[in-house]
């Protein structure tokens, strides 16, 4: 977490100036984010969902947008709010990211964009996605909600595509309490994106298009500014903890890990395992209950996947085998930047002891 004193001093300054939104700290945060991400422009907004909606509107997308079902629901919700049709494509069972080899078969004359996610911070196959988009003249938005700081071949993931959108909620590697960042390199789009977060108004009260109210407040920007100062250290620590988990669980039958794409670095927004009940000796949900019994909180992302949720009932008959397999076997283990190594070892000890018990 950021140090408290600099945050308090800046908050006092906000109350002195009386500027609560889109003030000097928001501008500073945007500049710092752009520098960290290696992009020309970073636009701060109220949350990750608004970052997606603004991007969809400002890129003037129509018709169908290709995306994975194994991702957070607000990604697809945003498409529907903008009158777009999500077209779900299966994921790679090892990386958990959209399988680029399956994208082209879903492209139609109504397709306007590809909306790919870097799941848990693991960069997706951007080279293949970019080639497909160029071939079919499609826009590309990267859902980088989990990936602030992820790189591929030494380059920031924000350098790819038309737009990358980031979330800054408390569970993310960089947080502003709430908030989002839109990263883009096309400077000609900056003004319209900024208008997008201000109801489509360029501050003349004569709205030019259908934007939304999505301004970031100064307090969130202050938290983000201070968080950026320790982000590299936090990401280094997360990588160390992820490797410790892998070392401790490597020899447990039926436990496998998300494959990080070669030459890429993940933020490890979450650390996940897949549980193969035939080899492990028990299904995922029994292991979940065992961990909870030992006061170890775990979560399951994303179960059910989007196409199996009630609000997407019209998609319920779509068969995405890898998505459904991963969703049914995945488990997110406790994971945070300042997590003690002893806590990691405790989690692993419970998992290993449970495996021994169910296979005895």
Note the pLDDT of residue 206.
87
Note the pLDDT of residue 262.
85
Domains of the chain: 4-229 (3.40.640.10), 231-359 (3.90.1150.10)
Q: At what angle do helices 73-81 and 48-58 cross, to 10 degrees?
A: 40
**Interatomic CA distance for residues 271 and 173, integer angstroms:** 12
* Residue 121, both tokens: 């911070």
pLDDT for 73-91, tens place per residue? 999 999 999 999 999 999 9
**Interatomic CA distance for residues 236 and 203, integer angstroms:** 42
Quick check: 149 and 174 in contact, CB under 8 A?
Answer: yes
Note the pLDDT of residue 26.
98
Note the pLDDT of residue 220.
97
pLDDT, averaged per 10 consecutive residues of the chain (360 residues), comes to 83 92 95 98 98 98 98 97 98 98 98 98 98 98 98 97 98 96 96 95 87 96 97 98 98 98 95 98 98 96 96 94 98 97 98 97
Note the pLDDT of residue 174.
98
11-50 burial: b if 16+ Cβ within 10 Å, else e: eeebeeeeeebbbebbebbbebbbebbebebbbbbbbbbb
> What's CA 154's distance to the chain center, in Å?
19
Q: In terms of Cα–Cα distance, which of 150, 169, 158, 156 is closest to 74?
A: 169
Quick check: 339 and 268 in contact, CB under 8 A?
Answer: no
3-state secondary structure 127-175: HHHHHHHHHHCCEEEEECCCCCCCEECCEEHHHCCCEEEEECCCCCCCC
The DSSP bridge partners found for residue 273 are: 257, 331
């Amino acid at each position: 977490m950021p140090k408290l004193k600099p945050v308090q001093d800046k908050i006092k300054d906000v109350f002195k100036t009386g500027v609560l939104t889109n003030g000097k700290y928001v501008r500073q945060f945007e500049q710092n984010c752009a520098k960290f991400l290696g992009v020309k422009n970073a636009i701060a907004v109220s949350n990750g969902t608004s970052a997606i909606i603004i991007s969809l509107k400002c890129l003037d997308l129509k018709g169908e947008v290709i995306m994975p079902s194994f991702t957070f629901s607000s990604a697809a919700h945003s498409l529907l709010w903008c009158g777009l049709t999500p077209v779900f494509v299966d994921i790679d069972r090892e990386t958990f990211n959209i399988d680029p080899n399956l994208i082209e078969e879903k492209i139609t004359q109504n397709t306007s964009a590809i909306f790919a996610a870097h799941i848990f911070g693991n960069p997706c196959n951007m080279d293949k996605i970019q080639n497909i988009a160029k071939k079919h003249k499609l826009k590309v938005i990267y859902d980088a909600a989990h990936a602030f700081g992820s790189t591929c071949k030494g380059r920031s993931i924000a350098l790819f595509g038309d737009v990358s959108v980031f979330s800054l909620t408390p569970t993310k590697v960089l947080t502003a309490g709430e908030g989002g960042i839109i990263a883009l390199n096309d400077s000609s789009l900056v003004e319209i994106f900024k208008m997008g977060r201000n109801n489509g108004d360029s501050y003349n009260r004569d709205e030019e298009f259908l934007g939304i109210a999505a301004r970031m407040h100064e307090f969130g920007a202050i938290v983000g500014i201070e968080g950026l100062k320790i982000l590299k250290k936090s990401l280094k620590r997360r990588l160390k903890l992820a490797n410790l988990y892998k070392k401790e669980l490597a020899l447990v039958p039926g436990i496998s890990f998300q494959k990080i794409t070669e030459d890429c670095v993940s933020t490890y927004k979450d650390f996940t395992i897949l549980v193969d009940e035939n080899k492990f000796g028990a299904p995922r949900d029994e292991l979940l209950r065992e961990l909870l019994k030992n006061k170890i909180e775990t979560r399951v992302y994303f179960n059910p996947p989007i196409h199996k949720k009630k609000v997407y009932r019209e998609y319920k008959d779509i068969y995405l085998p890898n998505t459904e397999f991963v969703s049914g076997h995945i488990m997110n283990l406790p994971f945070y930047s300042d997590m003690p190594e002893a806590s990691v070892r405790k989690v692993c000890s419970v998992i290993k002891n449970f495996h021994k018990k169910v296979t005895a």
